[in-house]
Amino acid sequence: MTTTLVTLAVDCMGGDHGPRVTLAACRHFLEAHPQAQLLLVGQPEALQSFQHPRARTIAASEVVAMDEALEVALRKKKDSSMRVAIQQVKDGNAQAAVSAGNTGALMALARYVLKTLDGIDRPAIASHLPNMKGGATTVLDLGANVDCTEHHLLQFAVMGSALESALNGSESPSVGLLNIGEEVIKGNEVIKKAGELLRAAGEAGDLNFYGNVEGNDIFKGTTDIVVCDGFVGNVALKTSEGVASLIVTFLKEEFTRGLFAKLAAIAAYPVLSALKKRVDHRRYNGAALLGLRGLVFKSHGSADELAFEHALNRAYDAARNNLLDRVQARIAHARPLLVGPTDDTQPLEAATT
């Protein structure tokens, strides 16, 4: 019996480290996923050393720099590795694209090349933050949309529910609306109106709305999904990464102190090692750009081999579990509530994630 391979298009030139990291991660990924194949997009001379029966090179003569202006990426670099990788999804050659490049450029190019789904005004960035239940909480938006209406937040909730269903198998994931308190009377007018829309969507069976949640609920794992605007979401993301780095630094310092501290640290090593692994943000790398007519995943720009491989894993799982079809089905079901004032604005330059 012939099994269909999942094909990912990889922007091998993007990120702080480029092919040195992306190619090594691609090799590890292919070894672990016999049902996957890769389209390696980039400058031929940078990719010529990579040989694998389930990988082939797609030439791209230009690279979008991490500090590149959106106008340059969109209008002047039409043969960039980032754009060519996204085009592979548009042309049906790949089921998903993965890049560690400039987030704002990736979002703008993905929206320009792939367009948004009917019923969605703006794409959103969704990823996972570790929680105390041993899993992770899906949070969106994480930086693509600084200013949001209540309808945008509802759209994020619907798309986030599809993502959670595709990646974790939950058909009715719980959704929390990030607020300054659990009470429905709290929050600004946008949050209050969003709460009304989310409750209505819950009553209509479009999603499983838990109610308002606070910042600490992200890490408690109170709900499967937390919805917020991109400004708040990006602050939460960077705060979690900072705390994780603080914990890792503390653990390293404990092993360099005096003899008693070293002995205590050695005795507690299994617990400390598990904690370090739990908060390691590299294990949660790979943010989905939701709301597009194709799958695009964003890796952290500073990702190492392990982190970039996790981004490839997420893209693979999303494609294999038909994330795009799930998003479209949920949008179609919730469409009467999703429609708000026409939004003709272009996406804001996303914060780096």
Report all structural domains of the chain as residue ranges with CATH numbers, in order of start: 6-338 (3.40.718.10)
**The pLDDT value given to residue 265:** 58
Q: What percent of the chain has pLDDT over 90?
A: 71
How far apart are alpha carbons 328 and 325 in whole angstroms? 5
**Does 35 score more than 60 pLDDT?**
yes
- Is the CB of residue 297 less than 8 Å from the CB of residue 318? yes
Cβ-based neighbour number of residue 134 at 10 Å: 8
Q: Per-residue pLDDT tens for 102-132?
A: 999 999 999 999 999 998 988 999 999 888 8
User: Which carries the bigger pLDDT value, residue 47 or residue 169?
Assistant: 47
Residue 168 banded pLDDT, cuts 50, 70, 90: confident
Residue 33: CA atoms inside 13 Å, Cβ hemisphere, count?
Answer: 26
Instruction: Using alpha carbons, select from 110, 181, 124 the residue that is nearest to residue 158.
Output: 124
Whether the per-residue pLDDT at 345 is higher than 90: the answer is no
Q: Characterize the bridge pairing of strands 174-178 and 208-213.
A: parallel
pLDDT band at 247 (very low <50, low <70, confident <90, very high): low
In this prediction, residues 291-299 reach a mean pLDDT of 96
The confidence score (pLDDT) of residue 320 equals: 95
Q: What percent of the chain has pLDDT over 70?
A: 85
Model pLDDT, residue 162: 94
- Buried residues in 186-216 as b, exposed as e (16+ CB within 10 A): ebeebbbbbbebbeebbeeebbbbbbbbbbe
Please, what is the average pLDDT of the chain?
88
Q: What is the pLDDT of residues 174-217, one digit of tens each?
A: 999 999 999 999 999 999 999 999 999 999 999 999 999 999 99
Residue type (1 letter), 217: D
Contacts 24+ apart (CB under 8 A), 347-350: 347/107, 347/108, 347/111, 347/122, 347/123, 347/144, 347/145, 348/104, 348/144, 348/145, 348/146, 348/147, 348/230, 349/70, 349/104, 349/108, 350/103, 350/104, 350/106, 350/107, 350/125, 350/143, 350/144, 350/230
Name the maximum alpha-carbon separation found in the chain.
Answer: 66
Checking if the pLDDT of 337 tops 90, the result is no
The end-to-end CA distance of the chain, in Å, is 41
pTM of the model: 0.87
Q: Write the burial class of residue 171 (CB in 10 Å: 0-12 exposed, 13-18 middle, 19+ buried).
A: exposed
Closest CA to 11 of 109, 81, 73: 81
Q: Which two tokens stand for residue 18?
A: 């480029």
What is the per-residue pLDDT for 2? 47
CA distance 171 to 149: 26
- Show the tokens assigned to 9: 């298009």
Alpha-helical runs (H) found in 72-147: 81-90, 103-114
How sure is the predictor about 237, in pLDDT bands with cuts at 50, 70 and 90? confident
pLDDT confidence of residue 167:
87
User: Residue 142, SS3?
Assistant: coil
Q: What pLDDT, on the 0 to 100 scale, is given for residue 252?
A: 65
Q: For 53-62, what is the mean pLDDT?
A: 97
Contacts of residue 17, defined as CB under 8 A and 6 or more positions apart, other chains included, come to 302, 303, 304
